[in-house]
Amino acid sequence: MTESATPTARTTVCISGGGPAGMMLGLLLARAGIHVTVLEKHQDFFRDFRGDTIHTSTLELMRELGLLEDFLRLPHHKVHSIGGSFSGESITFGEFRYLPTPCKFVAFMPQWDFLDFLKRQASRYPEFTLLMQAEAIALLRDRGRVSGLRWRDAGEAEHEIEAHLVVACDGRDSTLRHQSGLPVIDIGAPIDVLWFRMERAEEDPQDLLGRIDTGQALVMIDRGDYWQCAYLIRKDGFDALKQRGLPALRIDLARIAPFAAGRFEAALDSWDRLKLLSVQINRLHRWHAPGLLCIGDAAHAMSPAGGVGINLAIQDAVATANILQDALLQAQTDGTAVNDGLLDQVQKRRDWPTRFIQGFQVRVQDFLTDRVFNATGPVKPPLLLRIINRIPILRGLGPRLVALGPRREHIQTPDRH
């Protein structure tokens, strides 16, 4: 059941947030016969410049669910290698053809299409309920345990829903994480990102995502008929950029991507064309409290570096379903509380991959701030990337780490239908 006008008074699991983690977890639990209600505060999934990198680990999960063929019918663009341009010197530092999986590529897919797909699959199960325009606003507590949520609908009316487990999947600015009082470890991010779109020409380069030059870094994601561009700037540097003016910005962009020099004026004819993403890297010291579990960005905010946010969130969801399925079925049957030790098992399973990826992202940030933003001349590729570029077999190492992740999860929940 989807988009019911009236919330159920009680469910087994209540998930706040209909992003990748929330929708994937909802699908897996409903498929396993567990009653689950997902609250999504927006009226649809359509929001521009959301993460759209579907790494091979996620494609493999679709295959394990028997959904890969249908999934790949959605609009997407396949990338088979990754590279960059350093002050005009092009190198390739990753090739997905070496991956030990049937899907030897990364797919770039609009996130709204991905979420709609998960919604359609989950809606086949009677245990699944999705409430749109339902914003979680407060945790309910009973004798020291989180026992449900209070939420607000589109008409500002408030409702309550009780649950044996509440899962916060409501993003890096999670309301539930804030209310829980769980301490956050702020790693810090010295960069921000400006997103914008630009028309793509047929003769434009392919599979060359990163472009770096003196003081500048630009990522260009091929979306078929347009480029989705991410211009990296120093943290809180947007106001200084505005003071220089749009013409100066367009000149800088034309220098770093000269093949598109004639298109930046149309792409950036006003500051409204730019969307600022304030980059965060942080994680919870503890992901859970009695009756509450945080996963995805609510547990660990990631930098856009590597495009791993969606896939890390989905791996969290799979691990959560695998570890908690039996306890949730028992809670659904006889009301037994979900043991806090099981919630801790989820964190222990996913904490190390999170720390590993965040460590990688910090290294990328350090390179940008030390070697790029402070550069007074041409920026050369790091020695490691030069070596990888010259030895083809090494080009499979990076994609294997990023595309498959440092700890892959596999579907262990059954389809009880």
**CA–CA separation, 72 and 376 (whole Å):** 45
Q: What type of residue sits at position 336?
A: T
Contact 210, 94 (CB under 8 A): no
Q: Rounded to whole angstroms, what are the CA distances from 343 to 31, 36, 204, 320, 324?
A: 20, 17, 48, 8, 8
pLDDT class of 6 with cuts at 50, 70, 90: very low
Task: Say if residue 200 is in the same domain as residue 287.
Answer: no
Range 215-228 average pLDDT = 87
Residue 385 lies in a domain: no
Yes or no: say if 149 and 16 are a contact pair by the CB < 8 Å rule: yes
Arithmetic mean of pLDDT over the chain: 91
Q: For the chain, give the longest Cα–Cα distance.
A: 68
Domain boundary among 244, 278, 312: 278
- What pairing do the DSSP bridges indicate for beta strands 36-40 and 128-132? parallel
What is the pLDDT confidence band of residue 49, given thresholds at 50, 70 and 90? Answer: low
**CA–CA dist 150, 158 (Å, integer):** 7
Instruction: Clarify whether residues 318 and 171 are in a common domain.
Output: yes
3-class DSSP assignment, residue 212: strand
Please tell me the total count of domains within the chain.
2
Mean pLDDT, to the nearest integer, of 209-216? 88
Residue 392 lies in a domain: no
CATH number at residue 203: 3.30.70
Q: Is residue 126 part of a domain?
A: yes
pLDDT at 272 over 90: yes
Looking at the structure, do residues 151 and 200 belong to the same domain, yes or no? Answer: no
In sequence order, what E strands does 74-153 have? Answer: 77-79, 81-86, 89-95, 106-108, 128-132, 135-142, 145-152
Whether residues 223 and 292 fall in one domain: no
Same domain, 267 and 198: yes
337 and 359 belong to one structural domain: yes
Strand, helix or coil for residue 331? helix
CA distance 152 to 200: 41
- Shared-domain flag, residues 135 and 51: yes
Paired residues of 151 in beta bridges: 136, 159
171 plus 302 within the same structural domain: yes
Q: Is residue 7 pLDDT above 50, yes or no?
A: no
Q: What is the CATH number of the domain that holds 332?
A: 3.50.50.60
In this structure, what token pair is assigned to residue 273? 């064309």
Residues 211 and 340 in one domain: no
Q: Which residues pair with residue 16 across a beta bridge?
A: 39, 168
User: Percent of the chain scored above 70 by pLDDT?
Assistant: 96
Q: How far apart are CA 361 and CA 58, in angstroms?
A: 20
Structure tokens at 351: 């904490």
| pLDDT value at residue 50 | 66
> 97 CB contacts (<8 Å, ≥6 apart)?
80, 81, 104, 396
Alpha carbon separation from 87 to 24, 176, 214, 255, 380 (Å, rounded): 41, 44, 7, 10, 7
Please choose, from the candidates 8, 7, 26, the residue with its C-alpha nearest in 3D space to the C-alpha of residue 17: 26
Q: Which is higher by pLDDT, 50 or 292?
A: 292
Q: b or e along 98-133 (b: 16 or more beta carbons within 10 Å of the residue's beta carbon)?
A: ebebebbbbbbbbbeebbbbbbebbbebebbbbbbb
Reduced to 3 states, what is the DSSP secondary structure of residue 9? Answer: coil
Q: At what angle do helices 56-64 and 397-404 cross, to 10 degrees?
A: 50
Q: Interhelix angle for 309-334 vs 20-31, to 10°?
A: 40
- Which range of residues forms the domain containing residue 131? 10-57+68-77+109-187+281-367
My answer on whether 268 and 242 are in the same domain is yes
| Structure confidence at residue 51 (pLDDT) | 67
- Comparing 7-11, 73-77, 354-358, 389-393, the range with the smallest average pLDDT is 7-11
- Quick one: pLDDT band at residue 4, thresholds 50, 70, 90? very low
Identify whether residues 206 and 352 lie together within a single domain: no
Reading the block at residue 412, the tokens are: 């262990």
Highest-scoring range by mean pLDDT, 4-13, 159-168, 372-381: 159-168
Q: Is there a single domain that holds both residue 130 and residue 53?
A: yes
What digits encode the pLDDT tens for the residues 317-365?
999 999 999 999 999 999 999 999 999 999 999 999 999 999 989 998 8
What pLDDT digit, counting tens, does each position of 280-315 carry? 999 999 999 999 999 999 999 998 887 788 899 999
User: Could you give the C-alpha distances from 125 to 18, 52, 220, 361, in angstroms and in order?
Assistant: 17, 26, 39, 38
